[in-house]
Each structure stands twice: as C-alpha cells, then as structure tokens.
Amino acid sequence: MHAYLKHKGVAEEDIRENYTPFAFSDWQTEVAAIKKFGKAGKPTAVISTINGDANVPFYKELGNQQVAATQIPVIAFSVGEEELTGIDTKPLVGHLAAWSYFESIDTPENKAFIERWHRYIKDPAAVTNDPMESAYLLFNMWAQAVTKAGTTDVDAVRRAMIGQSVASPGGYTAVMNENHHVTKPVMIGEIAANRQFTIVYRSEPIAPVPWSPYLPGSGKLSSN
C-alpha cells in the first residue's frame, strides 16, 4: 500500500504507517495519533489491516473519540459482521470494509445460506461473514477436486483444484486459478447502524494477481 501511494504521487510526509502487535490494547493513544495526523488539514483516510478481535476495541475507540467517516474514513480489510456484533455502530456509520461477501447481499441463494447457518448453529441471530463464505467455497472446491482425482492425496488434489468452480451465495461463480488464487469480485460496504454493511460498490469477478505490481521485483516471482 505504501508503494501504491508513492506511485500515485502521495508525498512521504503524507503517509503515516504503523503496525501493532496481536492483542494490542492501547487504542486510545493510536486513535489520538490518527486524529492528530488528520488535523494537518489535508484529506485523510485510514487503511486498517487490524485482524480479528483486535478490531473491537479499535472501533469502540473510534466511536469514543468521535472519529466520523465524514472526517477521517476508515477502510478495513479484516473487519466484518462478527466483529461488529458487540459494538454500538451508530457512531461508526459510513466507515468502510472491503470483502468479496457481505451478509446483507440480497439474493435467494444468500438467504438460503444464512438460514442453513442459523439452523446448524441453532441461533437465529448468528451472523455470516466473508471468511465463512470463503471456507464454504473452498471446501466445496476441495470435495469436487477429490472426486475428480479419485483420491485425497495432497498433490493429486492440488492439481485437480485448478479450474474448480463453485456458485457463491453472493451471486457469482468463484473459480480456482493456476496460481492457487480465486477469481472473486471486490465489494465495499459501509458500516450501518444495525451492525451490518450497506454495499456501495461491487465489481465483476476479478482474475487474481498474486504479486503487487507496485513492489519492485515482485513481478518476477512465480508460484508453483
């Protein structure tokens, strides 16, 4: 991302990059630093790669310090419906997340997917999310590859995985490519007051590029 921003002409002094360890808890200081950076007067946004449960205190602190999406929007690569379950999302409306699936997708297939999950877990309030949808797709691809290979041998199944496709409850067909990455769409959702996401952008399924074109030398790498 740093290399991408530099490629787009963003000055080094306009990029603040900070990584926190797992189970990091001092979000008051970090969010205060984000607010201070944003007060420089230039348009400011946050790209969050915070993982899993650590999102909960981070987003609570965004709300506590009144970091509104209209002022400093946050776009996350790893916050979903499960993390929002225990958060008051009213102060967070408009902050963004990028996935290939959201529970709010309005298709008959997704409604059936959610209903099956509720029946299985015996909890009508349980949410679905992108990692669940991804696991569903990949397990079904694996089962199809085992059937094609006629064995569970790892190398045979790995070869048989290439070209496997599964219909997603999100309304597209996921395809496994030769580079072991999956063709999927990009969806961007805004956090809503009901702890769900309002989808504001959806691409067509995109063939995956395994290495960043903005990192010098990465284009020379290959996967086997």
Q: Check whether 222 has a pLDDT greater than 70.
A: no
What is the C-alpha to C-alpha distance for residues 93 and 33, in angstroms, rounded to an integer?
21
Average pLDDT over residues 61-86: 94
Confidence of residue 172 (pLDDT cuts 50, 70, 90): very high
184: exposed, middle or buried (Cβ count in 10 Å: 0-12, 13-18, 19+): buried
pLDDT tens-digit map of 196-205? 999 999 999 9
What is the C-alpha to C-alpha distance for residues 126 and 118, in angstroms, rounded to an integer?
6
Q: What is the dihedral of CA 111, 115, 117, 118, to 10 degrees?
A: 140
Average pLDDT value over all residues in the chain: 93
What is the C-alpha to C-alpha distance for residues 160 and 62, in angstroms, rounded to an integer?
46
Largest pairwise CA distance in the chain: 62
Give just the sign of the alpha carbon dihedral 104, 106, 110, 111.
Answer: positive
pLDDT tens-digit map of 10-55? 999 999 999 998 878 889 999 999 999 998 888 899 999 998 788 9
Radius of gyration of the chain (CA): 20
pLDDT at residue 22, rounded to an integer: 82
Region label for 17, one of left (φ > 0), alpha (ψ between -120 and 50) or beta (otherwise): beta
Q: Tell me the three-class secondary structure of 43-94, residue by residue.
A: CCCEEECCCHHHHHHHHHHHHHCCCCCCCCCEEECCCCHHHHCCCCCHHHCC
* All structural domains of the chain: 2-100+185-214 (3.40.50.2300), 108-176 (no CATH)
pTM value? 0.90
Instruction: For residue 215, give the DSSP letter.
Output: S
pLDDT tens-digit map of 93-116? 999 999 999 999 999 999 999 999
Q: Check whether 221 has a pLDDT greater than 80.
A: no
Q: Is 6 helix (H, G, I), strand (E, B) or coil?
A: helix
pLDDT at residue 106, rounded to an integer: 95
- Distance from the Cα of residue 142 to its chain's centroid: 22
Q: Is 173 helix (H, G, I), strand (E, B) or coil?
A: strand
Q: Check whether 167 has a pLDDT greater than 70.
A: yes
Residue 188: which of 105, 91, 82 has the closest Cα? 105
Confidence of residue 153 (pLDDT cuts 50, 70, 90): very high
pLDDT at residue 111, rounded to an integer: 97
